[in-house]
Chains A and B, each alone.
Chain A
Amino acid sequence: MNAALSIKDISVKIDGAEILRGASFCANSGEFIAVIGPNGAGKSTLLRAAAGLLCVDAGMVKLFGNDITALSPMERARRLSYLPQSRPVYWAMPVRAIVALGRFAYGGGDARAANSAVVESAMTEAGVQHLADRSAATLSGGELARVHFARALAGKTPVLIADEPTAALDPAHQLSVMALLQKKAANGRLVIAALHDLDLAARYATKILVIDKGAIVGDGAPEDVMTEELLRNVFSVRGKFDVKSGAARLSLSPLSQPQSSD
């Protein structure tokens, strides 16, 4: 059986700088993978490459066994949705029309799509149904982020890749987004999300992928990967990970003194 998404030894150079160096991982349906790493580690580049949005200099990305570059944009979009880190809306379109763009790959009447049950349920799941007829120009940053999230859900794709889905959200919405992604994975989708909040990553993800300086340095269950040593080496924080009463908790504190990178 093919993995939902398999990344084999990919390298990406942008303007001569090597952003990814031979990254590999395999991801199966039902997993919720959190990609963590410090700023500039290559998280976004890894996700964009995984989503088939940039040309890799070496290696291959396979989506359900197919080379992702061999799929047409529409074929790819019916299997994989991607939520970019920056979430602009350039025109003051109503929220419903923006969420309906999630159905783009299904062609035909976009006007019909705007009224479809899929779009309604995506808006409900992301908690933006009360904004349905509002113009995007009138929304706050956090509301806009949830509208984009609803758009990504509306594709109902088996693979969902989200670059910092919790950015710009208040704590309650961060938790509800994470819970929703967890539910999507439990229902058989593959969810991959880049996250900065290590605690959220540890609590909700089934698997953690740690990336540092363009290379994957950790891949496994949260409690196995997020060791004190890794947190110190990669994130330069003192971290204690423990599992109490079923809920994984991670408490972080700054290192007392500057750490050499040995």
Chain B
Amino acid sequence: MNAVAKDWRVLSGLAFTSLGLVFVSLLLGSATLSPSSILTGLFTGADTPEAMIVREIRLPRALAAFIAGASLGAAGAALQGLLRNPLADPGVLGVSAASALGAVIVIYFNVAMLGFWVVPAATILFALGATAALYLLGAGRVSTARLILIGVGLSSFAGALTSLVMNMSPNPFALSDLINWLFGTVANRSFRDLAIALPFVGIGLAFIAFAARGLRALTLGEDAAASLGADLKRVRIMIIAGAAVLVGASVSLAGAIGFVGIVAPHLIRPFVGHDPARLIAPSALLGGIILLAADLFVRILPFDQELKLGVAAALIGAPGFVWVAATTKRMAA
């Protein structure tokens, strides 16, 4: 079977799983609804309580989880291809930490009150700012190994600033809000939140798709890739900017959530011949599935206080991270 047909099979399998999982997440919750009332709620303008729950609460929440996860899956796959390291992740480059810092700052300084758009704008701007800083600090000149180290430094710095802001917060409510951003949740998301994030998700995916072939060439290292005709400067800019926009959009939807960007591509790799370009689309779908499943899980757990989505993701993802780190053989001659 050729690669194209195989990719379509993988993608359609993941797409059907995604749709099925969205449907299941509409069914389950504090009130279990019947499949027929979900269809009524989705496809008619009925304003019964069940229809309202489906349209106004469960559907936006499910889509928010899926889109945030898909953004992280695509961003993770793209950054791993660029850095040629299966452990690279939006978190590794400090983009997630900086993005969450943006949210925390606008909340702490009460800028967030200005409008619903302030927090998403801040997460995206800070993700882009972190990325621009990364690039100015040397993405064009230094090796990718050094880029990872710069990212680690940036991540620690953003984390320290976030702690500083939390320490200074006089407002106990602000503190609980901060926790939502730092641990991640998609509770109470509306279609308005989705409408703000979606264009950025689209832009980020387009950037990454445009540079994907260059990632395949990078499999042979930077010199070989450049000699093959890949425009490495452009590949770096497109991948870093695309990943930043995707991470900013996902943080605005769900807060800082780690590990999805590592686990999803790792699971997909064997199904796409380990090709870093073919990896991206299925990793996005699987990232969405993972986060949607994690959200379903936190919703049906019988706890008084709902477990934060990011905590659930880390409970599954952190052992996954260790597993990838321990089993990955670095291949270089």
B229 touching A92, Cβ below 8 Å: no
Would A110 and B216 be within 8 Å (CB), given that A90-B84, A94-B273 are in contact?
Answer: yes
Is B230 interfacial (CB-CB < 8 Å)? yes
B3 touching A114, Cβ below 8 Å: yes
Q: What size tier do the contact residues of chain A reach?
A: 35 or more
Is B110 interfacial (CB-CB < 8 Å)? no
Would A53 and B223 be within 8 Å (CB), given that A92-B331, A115-B2, A141-B333 are in contact?
Answer: yes
A135 touching B216, Cβ below 8 Å: no
- In the assembled complex, the CB of B111 is this many whole angstroms from the nearest CB of chain A, namely 42
B229 — which chain A residues lie within 8 A by C-beta?
A: 73-74, 76-78, 104-105
Within the assembled complex, what's the spacing in Å between the Cα atoms of A115 and B4? 12
B333 — which chain A residues lie within 8 A by C-beta?
A: 86-89, 141, 144-145, 168
Is A98 interfacial (CB-CB < 8 Å)? yes
Is A48 interfacial (CB-CB < 8 Å)? yes
Is B217 interfacial (CB-CB < 8 Å)? yes
A89 touching B331, Cβ below 8 Å: yes
CB nearest neighbor in B for A87: B333
For chain A, residues 125 to 145, give those with C-beta under 8 angstroms from any C-beta of chain B.
135-137, 141, 144-145
B169 — which chain A residues lie within 8 A by C-beta?
A: none
Within the assembled complex, what's the spacing in Å between the Cα atoms of A81 and B331? 23
B258 — which chain A residues lie within 8 A by C-beta?
A: none
- In the assembled complex, the CB of B223 is this many whole angstroms from the nearest CB of chain A, namely 4
Within the assembled complex, what's the spacing in Å between the Cα atoms of A104 and B86? 23
A90 touching B331, Cβ below 8 Å: yes
Within the assembled complex, what's the spacing in Å between the Cα atoms of A222 and B221? 33
For chain B, residues 139 to 155, give those with C-beta under 8 angstroms from any C-beta of chain A.
none
Would A104 and B228 be within 8 Å (CB), given that A89-B331, A90-B84 are in contact?
Answer: yes
Is A189 interfacial (CB-CB < 8 Å)? no
Interface string of A76-109 (1 = CB under 8 A from B): 1110111110111111111001100110110001
Is B193 interfacial (CB-CB < 8 Å)? no
Is B275 interfacial (CB-CB < 8 Å)? yes
For chain B, residues 203 to 231, give those with C-beta under 8 angstroms from any C-beta of chain A.
213, 216-221, 223-224, 226-231
Partner of B223 from the list A82, A137, A155 (CB cut-off 8 Å) is A82
Is A43 interfacial (CB-CB < 8 Å)? no
CB nearest neighbor in A for B6: A111
Would A81 and B227 be within 8 Å (CB), given that A97-B273, A101-B216, A110-B213 are in contact?
Answer: yes
Is A148 interfacial (CB-CB < 8 Å)? yes
B2 touching A111, Cβ below 8 Å: yes
CB nearest neighbor in B for A106: B229
A135 — which chain B residues lie within 8 A by C-beta?
A: 274
Would A93 and B230 be within 8 Å (CB), given that A84-B223, A98-B220, A101-B220 are in contact?
Answer: no
A84 touching B216, Cβ below 8 Å: no
Within the assembled complex, what's the spacing in Å between the Cα atoms of A21 and B224? 25
Is B192 interfacial (CB-CB < 8 Å)? no
A97 touching B331, Cβ below 8 Å: no
A141 — which chain B residues lie within 8 A by C-beta?
A: 333
Is A34 interfacial (CB-CB < 8 Å)? no
Interface string of B228-242 (1 = CB under 8 A from A): 111100000000000
B221 — which chain A residues lie within 8 A by C-beta?
A: 84, 86-88, 90
B4 — which chain A residues lie within 8 A by C-beta?
A: 109, 111
Can you list 9 residue pairs at the A/B interface with Cβ under 8 Å? A48-B223, A76-B229, A82-B223, A83-B224, A88-B220, A89-B220, A89-B331, A110-B277, A111-B2
Question: Chain B: residues with CB nearer than 8 A to chain A?
Answer: 2-4, 84, 213, 216-221, 223-224, 226-231, 269, 273-277, 329, 331-333
